[in-house]
Chains A and B, each alone.
Chain A
Amino acid sequence: MTVREIQAGTITNVVERLCIRANEYLPEDMKSAIRDCRACEDWPIARDVLDKIVENYEIAEAQEVPICQDTGMACVFLEIGQDVHIAGGGLREAVDEGVRRGYDKGYLRKSVVKDPVRRGNTGDNTPAMLYTEIVPGEQIKVTVAPKGFGSENMSVIRMFKPSAGLEGIKDFILETVETAGPNPCPPMVVGVGIGGTFDKAALLAKKALLRPLDSQNPDPFYAELEKEMLERINRLGIGPQGFGGRTTALGLNIETLPTHIAGMPCAINISCHVTRHMTEVI
C-alpha cells in the first residue's frame, strides 16, 4: 500500500484561495434559485428587492469584491483520505494560515473575537471552524463555507421527545423561520439536521446548507418533507427582507442520522441569500 504525501503548505494555499473566491462568487445553484424565485414573485416590493440581490452578486463577481460585508467565520470541512500523509507542518496551523492569508489578501472583514464573553478581535479572522473526517482514498477534499452571523444568530436546536413525531419537527421549522422573520436577510436557506446526538444534529444542519439547492434528500420520505416545508415557509408571507412577498426561503435541505431510543434531536441552521461555499480537491 502506498501513502500519498501532501504538504501542509498546499492545504494553506487552497484554503486561502477558497476563502477569497467563496466570498466573491455565489454558487450557481444559489443564483439559479434566486432567479427562479424572482420569476415566480408577484409582489412589487419583493420583485424590486430580488432584482437588487441579483445586481449585487453580479457586481461582486465582476469586480471581485465580497458579496456581503459579513465575510463570516471560516467554516472549513476537510475530507481526508486515509492513505494521505500530511507533511511539513500541522494541519490546524496550515488551515488557520490559509484563513489568515485569504482574509488579508482578499480584503475580507475580520469578524472573529478571541473570547465569547470578554471579546477582542483576533485581527486575522482565525481560528477557522475546522471539521475533519477520515474517508477512503488518497485525496483531501477542502470545502470553505464563510458563515455570516445575521442568520447564524437565528438558528436553534431542540431536543424533542420521540412522541413529538413528525408534526413536532414541522411546527419547529415553521416557528423558527417565523421567529427569524426579517433578521437573517431573507430569502433564507434553511438547513435542518435531525437525529444523532446534540452536537451531531447541529453539524448535520450546517452540512445541509452545503448541499446544492437543486438536490434532494435520497430518502423519498425526507425529500417529500423538504418540498412540503419549503412550500409552507413560502406561504408565510415574510418575503424578501421581510417586506412581504412569496419568497421567504430559497431552499430547505434535511440531513439525518440514527439516534437514541429516548430522543429526537432537531437543529435548524438558518442561512441567507448569500449562502456561500466552495470546494477543491487536492
Chain B
Amino acid sequence: MERHITLPLTEELARTLHAGDTVYLTGTVYTSRDAGHKRMCEALSRGEELPFDPKDATIYYVGPSPAKPGQVIGSAGPTTSGRMDAYAPTMMSVGARGMIGKGARLPEVVKAMKQYSGVYFGAIGGAGALLSKCIKEAELIAYEDLGAEALRRLYVEEMPLVVIIDCEGNDLYESGRAAYLRQRGESN
C-alpha cells in the first residue's frame, strides 16, 4: 500500500502503518547515530532533558556528508540501524516513536516497538544523493563536536521509505523474502 504521511508520528497514525507499505514522509525528523544516541541515553540516565522533544518524534539514523555551498545538506542515506539497538528501547520509552534506517533489529527492539507503538522505516541504504533531495531544511541542534554524528533537525518532504517493522512486530525482511520465494516456487 502506498501512503503519504505527515509527522508527528502519533500512536494513532503509527497503528495504521503496516510492514511492506511504501511511505512518502513529510515533516520534521531528528538525526542521530551511535555517538549521539550514547550521549542522549547518558543524559536521560542523569535525569536531564534531551536536545529535542522526543514525544512522537522520528529519528533518522544518518551521518550526512558535508553540504557543498548552496546545498541544504550533503548526501544523506541511512546507516545500519543495528548499532542503535542498545539505545532504541530507551528512546521509545521517552516517547520517540519512529526510526528510519536500514538493516535488521534485535528482538528487544521489536518488543519495545510493540509496547510503545513504534515504527521502523527503511530508507534505501547507499542512496544518499537521492535521499538528500527530500531534505529541505537542516539545522544543527546539539553535539556539534561529533561532526557528522551531531544532532540535526531536518525538514523532509515526500521522503521515500518502506515500513520494515510495524508496531505489531511484522517484519518485511522476513515476509518480503518469504513471499518472493513462494512466488518463485509457484512460477517454476
Contact = CB atoms under 8 A, between A and B. Distances in A.
Given A109-B63, A238-B177, A241-B125, A65 B133 contact: no
B180 A239 contact: yes
Interface residues of B, number: 46
A59 interface: yes
B114 to A, nearest CB: 20
B13 interface: no
B44 interface: no
* Residue of B62, B103, B173, B179 contacting most chain A CB atoms (<10 Å): B103
Interface residues of A, number: 47
Nearest to B187: A42
A272 B132 CA distance: 19
B65 A109 contact: yes
A187 B124 CA distance: 11
B22 to A, nearest CB: 8
Interface stretch (A45-53, A157-165, A205-213): A45-53
Contacts of B75: 60, 65-69, 109
Nearest to B66: A107
Task: Say whether chain B's binding surface is mostly helix, strand, loop, or mixed.
Answer: mixed
B62 A69 contact: yes
Interface string B103-143: 11000000000000000001011111110110000000000
Interface in B16-67: 20, 22, 35, 62-67
A103 B162 CA distance: 32
B105 to A, nearest CB: 10
Given A66-B74, A121-B147, 15 more contacts: A53-B126, A56-B124, A60-B129, A65-B129, A68-B127, A107-B65, A107-B66, A108-B65, A150-B125, A182-B103, A185-B102, A243-B172, A243-B173, A244-B172, A274-B126
